Structure 1
Amino acid sequence: MSKSINTAAIIRTAVLEDAQAILQIQKEVIAERDYLMSVPEEFNQTLDQQKNWIKKILDNERETILVAEIDNEIVGWIAFLSNSRKRLSHVGSFGIMIRKDYRERGIGRMLISELLSWAAHNPFIEKVSLGVFSTNTRAIALYKSMGFIEEGRKKKEVKVSETEYWDDILMYKLV
């Protein structure tokens, strides 16, 4: 049985009061160990640090953080961060996290679509980039279906065990 797009999801700009929910999702996704560079034992972000991080993003006209909300519960988020160097200020990259129970419902596509719309209307942003583990085939398929192109690959970038490595795939889309 395939899951359909959940049209009840609301995508909106995050506010400081979302910090706890955003942090909780981040902890849950990191605990899965399959999608992020961080592992649980090295992720020690406090609620105050999370609030400061969100505030910094919201205060920067070249950055944004969006949340997906279903029935007043935040179930995912996407953050776009830019580079402060002048020659790279037209570029930014995003990270996206969705609670496990809400994946494969179109929420990731909705978050990315809203981010791409924001970027297209932002006079400073010309290129949206991301990095994704080579093992994350669902995400890679989503990014490709949305027009992202692989521009590079860091071979054996992530050491998962003494004998297992993952590539870090770099993708982009011009807006």
Structure 2
Amino acid sequence: MNEDVDVTIREALPKDAKQIVEVSQTIGSQTEYLVMDEYGTNLPLNLLENQLDTIYNSDHQLLLVALVEEEIVGSASVRSSEEKRVAHIGEVGISLLKDYWGIGLGSILLEELIEWAQQSQQIRRLKLTVQKQNTRAIHLYEKYGFQTEAVMKRGATGDDGRFLEVLLMSKMID
């Protein structure tokens, strides 16, 4: 993949639902690093459209899509609970098509998420989980100040059924 790719980052819209499903299925089949598999997101299209509308109009959730020539190639999100006692915690997720790994797109998306969280009046802690074998992602998160809080033994299973360790990482926003 050429590193001089022209990428647009914007908030996801309900009209993106079909592409998001297709991309999530492709990403799920390309790597075992994510919770989703080749079936991708399991929401029916109309429910995903409603969910995207809710996220777009929310002040405590964000879903970004990365587009190359109007095609979604990845996404990044922060989601927090509406429950008062944990509403300050935003859960981070990033996924990219394999062709777009290693060109800095993960950094751009993570920077956008962190900036959004810093500007929010709610998010004060970002957290994520990442498989211990995903060293590139761990390096990215550490570069942006995330620290490992715990190692979860048997936190996931690989495509071949083996148990994998998963790191719980976090970053404080203030």
TM-score normalised according to structure 1 size: 0.89
Q: Which residue is equivalent to 1:74?
A: 72
Q: Distance in 1 between matches of 2:172 and 2:165?
A: 23
Following superposition, the deviation at residue 40 of structure 1 comes to 3.3
Q: Distance in 2 between matches of 1:3 and 1:136?
A: 22
The residue type paired with residue 17 of structure 1 is K
Q: Which residue is equivalent to 2:60?
A: 62
Contact 2:25-2:40 within 8 A present in 1 as well: no
The residue type paired with residue 64 of structure 1 is L
Alignment equivalent of 1:11, drawn from 5, 9, 12: 9
> What count of residue pairs does the alignment treat as equivalent?
172
Secondary structure of 2:27 counterpart: helix
Q: Which residue is equivalent to 2:49?
A: 51
Secondary structure of 1:26 counterpart: helix
1:24-67 deviation per Cα after TM superposition (whole angstroms, max 9, x unaligned): 11111212351222333685332212212212212321101111
1:12-27 aligned at under 5 Å gives the runs 12-27=10-25
The residue type paired with residue 45 of structure 1 is L
1:147-172 deviation per Cα after TM superposition (whole angstroms, max 9, x unaligned): 1111111112223345x211111111
Q: Distance in 2 between matches of 1:65 and 1:169?
A: 23
The residue type paired with residue 34 of structure 1 is E
Q: Distance in 2 between matches of 1:127 and 1:43?
A: 26
Q: Which residue is equivalent to 1:157?
A: 155
Is 25-34 or 104-113 further displaced after alignment? Answer: 25-34
Is 26-35 or 40-49 further displaced after alignment? Answer: 40-49
1:81-100 aligned at under 5 Å gives the runs 81-100=79-98
Q: Distance in 2 between matches of 1:124 and 1:18?
A: 27
Q: Distance in 1 between matches of 2:126 and 2:169?
A: 8
* 1:3/1:171 CA distance change after superposition, 3 Å: farther
Contact 1:127-1:172 within 8 A present in 2 as well: yes
Contact 1:134-1:168 within 8 A present in 2 as well: yes
Is 55-64 or 42-51 further displaced after alignment? Answer: 42-51
Contact 2:24-2:40 within 8 A present in 1 as well: no
Q: Distance in 2 between matches of 1:123 and 1:42?
A: 32
Query: RMSD in angstroms over aligned alpha carbons?
Result: 2.0
* 1:43/1:62 CA distance change after superposition, 3 Å: closer
Q: Distance in 1 between matches of 2:40 and 2:9?
A: 30
The residue type paired with residue 145 of structure 2 is G
Identity across the alignment (%):
31
Is 32-41 or 99-108 further displaced after alignment? Answer: 32-41
Alignment equivalent of 1:143, drawn from 141, 144, 148: 141
Q: Which residue is equivalent to 1:102?
A: 100
